[in-house]
Amino acid sequence: AGKGVLAGKTVLVTSGPTHEPIDPVRYLANRSSGRQGHAIAAAAASAGARVTLVSGPVSIPDPAGVTVVRVETAREMLAAVEAALPADIAVFAAAVGDWRPAETRGGKIKKDGAAVPPLTLVENPDILATIAGRIKARPPLVVGFAAETDDVLDNARKKLAKKGCDLLVANDVSHEGGVMGGVENTVHLLARDGALDTWPRLGKDEVGKRLVARFAEILSAMPG
Ligand code: C5P
């Protein structure tokens, strides 16, 4: 800290999947290694920022020099994010479960019954939209991610508007891409004014570094 393009700045990053428990041994999850979010947190710390990483369950190591808050569910993730504010930059790279089981059973559901148990889902809070829509303590730069398989840019534009974020990082996760769980990523960076950057396929660590450099540029160009 003290040196680097984000010296004196505070950065919040969400990363990894969420787990939404069905019973003590089963859960609904999203496919996410946490690699991209963790790489962003690491790059922000290297750039001198004070970084809080709110992470769902992942099997990769904690980045160096970062405060890590571990959570399991989307609701826990939202609470941890709110507790970590204010921040200058908030990056929502986690693959948050859109739904959770309406009830979590306290004991393991048995297979011995004749019927297959029903699974009723309810909607989870949208963490990105919640923070981007805040009046108080809204981070000046709110960054969302979009994992798309089709019409990547079209969907990214819609998502940027719907979520109310300032910048959207869209990645193509169509099966051919091998991005999910992989070490490389092809990203498109979409700004609110429609400006678009497309980067070549790069390692997730390199994507993290380049994203952090862009965030620092955008932040320094902001008034105040
Ligand atoms: O709607 P979708 O899941 O595609 O949007 C992706 C973006 O929204 C990501 O930045 C993700 O971290 C964020 N998100 C969230 N909370 C949710 C769902 C998505 O923060 N419940």
Q: Is the CB of 90 under 6 A from ligand 1?
A: no
* Cis, peptide link before residue 223, omega less than 30° from 0: no
Q: How far apart are CA 94 and CA 208, in angstroms?
A: 14
User: 36 alpha carbon to ligand 1 midpoint, in Å?
Assistant: 14
pLDDT above 90 coverage of the chain, percent = 80
Check: CB of residue 219 under 8 Å from CB of residue 137: no
pLDDT above 70 coverage of the chain, percent = 96
Residue 111 among known ligand-binding residues:
no
Q: Is the CB of 91 under 6 A from ligand 1?
A: no
User: Sorting pLDDT into bands at 50, 70 and 90, what band is 223?
Assistant: confident
Q: Which residue has the higher pLDDT, 152 or 48?
A: 48
Residue 63 among known ligand-binding residues:
no
Mutate to test the pocket of ligand 1, among 127, 168, 173, 189 (most ligand atoms within 8 A of CB): 127
Per the confidence metrics, is the pTM higher than 0.80? yes
pLDDT digits (tens, 9 = 90+) for 129-148: 999 999 999 999 999 999 88
Query: Torsions phi, psi of 154, nearest 5?
Result: -60, -50
Kindly give the number of the ligand 1 atom that is closest to the alpha carbon of 165.
10
Q: Give the pLDDT mean for 33-46.
A: 97
Q: How far apart are CA 181 and CA 184, in angstroms?
A: 9
Residue 101 among known ligand-binding residues:
no
What's the pLDDT score for residue 1? Answer: 46
Q: Is the CB of 170 under 6 A from ligand 1?
A: no
Work out the end-to-end distance of the chain between its first and last CA atoms, rounded to an integer number of angstroms.
22
Residue 150 among known ligand-binding residues:
no
pLDDT digits (tens, 9 = 90+) for 100-119: 999 999 999 988 877 888 99
User: 217 alpha carbon to ligand 1 midpoint, in Å?
Assistant: 24
Q: Is the CB of 146 under 6 A from ligand 1?
A: yes
How many C-beta atoms lie closer than 10 Å to residue 190's C-beta? 24
Residue 174, pLDDT > 80, answer no
SS3 content of the chain, % helix, strand, coil (to 5): 25, 30, 45
What's the pLDDT score for residue 17? Answer: 98
* Cis, peptide link before residue 86, omega less than 30° from 0: yes
Average pLDDT, the chain: 93
pLDDT digits (tens, 9 = 90+) for 1-33: 458 999 999 999 999 999 999 999 999 999 899
Name the 3-class secondary structure at 79. Answer: helix
Q: How far apart are CA 48 and CA 3, in angstroms?
A: 5
ipTM associated with this complex = 0.95
Catalytic residue numbers read 30
